[in-house]
Amino acid sequence: ETGGTGGQSAAPGSGPIKVGFSQLGAESGWRTANTESVKASLTAENGIDLTFVDAQQKQENQIKALRDFIDQGVDVIAFSPVVETGWDEVLQEIKDAEIPVVLVDRTVDTTVVDAYVTWIGADFEAEGTTAGEWVTVNYPDAKIFELQGTLGSGAQVDREAGFDTIVGQQNIVGKASGNFTRAEGKAAMEAALQAYPDMDLLFTHNDDMGLGAIEAMEAAGKKPGEDIQIVSVDGVRDGLQALVDKKFNYVVECNPVFGDQILDTIKKVYAGEQLPRETIVFDQAFDQTITQAEVDARAY
Ligand code: GYE
């Protein structure tokens, strides 16, 4: 499934499009599914010569990969920035090298003008808003602890802004980052259970941190989903399973499977076609009415 564009009709030259893809890491189930989707779509059969580099959640690794892509003379650079700021220099270098950039998943905050052609990803602020609305309707008096994703990442900044605006700062008893990983989510929750014994609802910026938090709650004798409600974002299979098991209460989806859209976008960028400044990947939300069959049918 190539997204239906056919060959790259207006593409300069022949042969595959050389693409450098800088993935930010492998920190979560979401990320693993996203990487699989990217690799399944950006293939030789689909006309792509892909160089894929995993930065292990380190910005300096990503900057190095981007500079390597310039040196290799790739046709298009695609990247998912671990945090929003700190890219000005390298983005200017890419621009000077006249290599078009497709921004994937997370966003950048840069002074470089027209640093990228197009961005494709989810509306993180809307995800936070959806989570906040569910809390406001179902647990209006909740004392909320918020597990933040990687600080300074688009997904953290915007989910937090969307959620906090809806529930109100006065309802949030504490916050800490779990860096979007299960292990750090667990550690942050262990500390939070000590620091904020009155909390009765967790908003976690992704499923993995929430799954780590469940372990911390159970070790402390608390029932996740009952003593402490859990609202999460992503909707990876383990997260949806936690809904069926009544340990998570609500999950706002963030769909990682958009490799075909990235492929389609890269082909259009290479062919010099006009593109929208942004393409939003569609999300839904799930509560405990989800069935085991639906969870089992989940592809990731
Ligand atoms: O929610 C989280 C991952 O940027 C949308 O990154 C992505 C987020 C996703 O680590 O699980």
Which contiguous run of DSSP H or E holds residue 210?
A: helix 207-219
Q: What is the pLDDT averaged over residues 243-259? A: 98
Check residue 128 and give its pLDDT: 98
Tens-digit pLDDT profile for residues 127-157: 999 999 999 999 999 999 999 999 999 999 9
Tens-digit pLDDT profile for residues 181-217: 999 999 999 999 999 999 999 999 999 999 999 999 9
Tens-digit pLDDT profile for residues 99-124: 999 999 999 999 999 999 999 999 99
- Does the Cβ of 23 fall within 6 Å of ligand 1? no
| Rounded distance between C-alpha atoms, residue 244 and residue 241, angstroms | 5
- Is residue 97 pLDDT above 80, yes or no? yes
Q: Report the mean per-residue pLDDT for the chain.
A: 95
- Work out the pLDDT band at 14, boundaries 50, 70, 90: confident
- Does the Cβ of 159 fall within 6 Å of ligand 1? no
Q: Which residues pair with 250 in a beta bridge?
A: 231, 287
Tokens (6 digits) for 262: 């990235």
Q: What is the pLDDT averaged over residues 44-51? A: 98
Check residue 12 and give its pLDDT: 56
* Cα 27 to middle of ligand 1, angstroms: 8
In the sheet with 48-54, reading across from the earlier edge strand, the strands are 48-54, 17-23, 76-79, 101-104, 118-121, 278-280
* Cα 206 to middle of ligand 1, angstroms: 7
Burial class (CB in 10 A: 0-12, 13-18, 19+), 45: exposed
| Rounded distance between C-alpha atoms, residue 80 and residue 207, angstroms | 19
- Is residue 263 pLDDT above 60, yes or no? yes
Give the N- to C-terminal CA distance of the chain in Å, as an integer.
18
* Cα 178 to middle of ligand 1, angstroms: 12
- Is residue 9 pLDDT above 80, yes or no? no
- Is residue 11 pLDDT above 70, yes or no? no
Query: How many CA atoms, within 13 angstroms, populate the side-chain half-sphere of residue 149?
Result: 29
Residue 153 CA: nearest ligand 1 atom is: 4
Q: What is the pLDDT averaged over residues 279-290? A: 95
Please, are residues 85 and 152 in contact by the beta-carbon 8 Å criterion?
yes
> In terms of Cα–Cα distance, which of 16, 15, 30 is closest to 263?
16
Check residue 1 and give its pLDDT: 31
DSSP 206: S
Check residue 237 and give its pLDDT: 97
Q: What is the pLDDT averaged over residues 294-299? A: 94
- Does the Cβ of 182 fall within 6 Å of ligand 1? no
Check residue 8 and give its pLDDT: 40
Check residue 219 and give its pLDDT: 98
Residue 181 CA: nearest ligand 1 atom is: 10
pTM of the model: 0.94
- Work out the pLDDT band at 15, boundaries 50, 70, 90: confident
Angstrom CA distances, 91 to 66, 87, 88, 101, 197, stand at: 9, 6, 5, 9, 45
Tokens (6 digits) for 119: 């961005």
* Residue located via tokens 């030259």: 13
- Is residue 251 pLDDT above 70, yes or no? yes
**Coil vs helix vs strand at 228:** strand
Which contiguous run of DSSP H or E holds residue 145?
A: strand 144-148
Q: Dihedrals φ, ψ of 182, to 5°?
A: -65, -45
| Rounded distance between C-alpha atoms, residue 128 and residue 31, angstroms | 19
In this prediction the ipTM stands at 0.98
Pocket test for ligand 1, best of 38, 234, 237 (most atoms within 8 A of CB): 234
- Does the Cβ of 106 fall within 6 Å of ligand 1? yes
The share of the chain scoring above pLDDT 90, in percent, equals: 94
